[in-house]
Amino acid sequence: MTDRVEELRRNLAAVQHRITAACAAAGRDPAEITLIVVTKFFPASDVVALADLGVTDIGENKDQEAAAKVAELPPAVRERLTVHFIGQLQTNKARSVARYADAVHSVDRSKLVRALDKAARAARDAGERTSYLPVLVQVDLGEGAQAGRGGAHPDDVERLAEEVAATGHLRLRGVMAVAPLGLDEDGTRRAFERLAAHAETVRRVDPAATWISGGMSGDLEIAVAAGATHLRVGTAILGSRPVGR
């Protein structure tokens, strides 16, 4: 094993241990949780190493980087992975993302719903994907000065979910959020509890929309306690990135 593979193995095991402990504390079954390893900034070789270590889901937040990285993966590795797009998305990148993403977590406005639906249809017509594109409504959990850092306003979540459900080529899978910066543990817990309430609203639109994507390296235990089903963990497994990535 190279040093890097050994480092990834050790970090992955530590995060899996944290998830198991958080589930035990919350009385939840670890099988309910999907760990998405966020590989943004890190090379395709790390993705290959992670897949060899048993990772099944990766997350990326920039189209250009993700498209190139996914294309670089050996087909046998690509086939085993679920690729989640988790970053802010411009409508002019929708067509590219629909080629390789197995799910998009960051749907936050009507215009993007329409662009992704059109893109998913074009990708299907071109033989680049065989089925609908699963998407999540990203919710802005910020309050006051913390609001507006990404995601739909809470008042718009139900309408966006209905818009997704009415498309022909997208499938509503649930909700996603990033906890606002600078909150203490209690504030973060309340934010993830609001996310769980939004998840209920979205499940009323489509009962199959069961995913709650919340929790990162620093707050995954709090997210698990509040009901998250998908954790997006980067730093704790791959190491630190340059500021802003």
Ligand X SMILES: *Cc1c(COP(=O)(O)O)cnc(C)c1O
Q: Any residues with CB less than 8 A from the CB of 47 and at least 6 apart, and which?
A: 39, 58, 69, 73, 77, 81
Closer Cβ to ligand X, 87 or 174, answer by number: 87
Which residues from 157-196 bind ligand X, rule CB under 6 A?
Answer: 178
105 vs 121 by CB, closer to ligand X: 105
Q: Which residues contact 27 (CB under 8 A, 6 or more apart)?
A: none
Q: Which of residues 10-39 bind ligand X (CB under 6 A)?
A: 38
CA distance 190 to 196: 10
Shortest CB 57 distance to ligand X, Å: 12
Pick between residue 38 and residue 139 the one whose CB is nearest to ligand X. 38
Terminal Cα distance for the chain, rounded: 28
Q: Does 154 contact ligand X by CB under 6 A?
A: no
**173: amino acid identity, one letter:** R
Please identify, using beta-carbon distances, which residue of 169 and 225 lies nearer to ligand X.
225
Q: How far is the CB of 36 from ligand X (least distance, A)?
A: 8
Q: State the Cα–Cα distance between residues 41 and 183, nearest whole angstrom.
A: 26
HEC-encoded secondary structure of 195-216: HHHHHHHHHHHCCCCCEEECCC
Q: Tell which residue, 201, 177, 179, 199, has the closest CA to residue 189.
A: 179
Least distance in angstroms from the C-beta of 133 to ligand X: 18
Neighbouring residues of 7: CB distance < 8 A, sequence distance ≥ 6? 239
| Nearer of residues 142 and 234 to ligand X, judged by Cβ | 234
CB of 126 to ligand X, least distance (A): 28
- Nearest residue to ligand X, scored by beta-carbon proximity: 234
Please, which of residues 84-103 interact with ligand X by CB under 6 A? Answer: 86-87
Q: Which of 73, 217, 223, 226 binds ligand X (CB under 6 A)?
A: 217
- The interface region with ligand X, picked from 24-32, 107-115, 192-200, 211-219 by CB under 6 A, is 211-219
Q: How many CB atoms lie within 10 A of CB 27?
A: 7
| Among 39, 40, 63, 141, interactor with ligand X by CB under 6 A | 40
Binding residues for ligand X, per CB under 6 A? 38, 40, 61, 86-87, 178, 216-218, 232-236
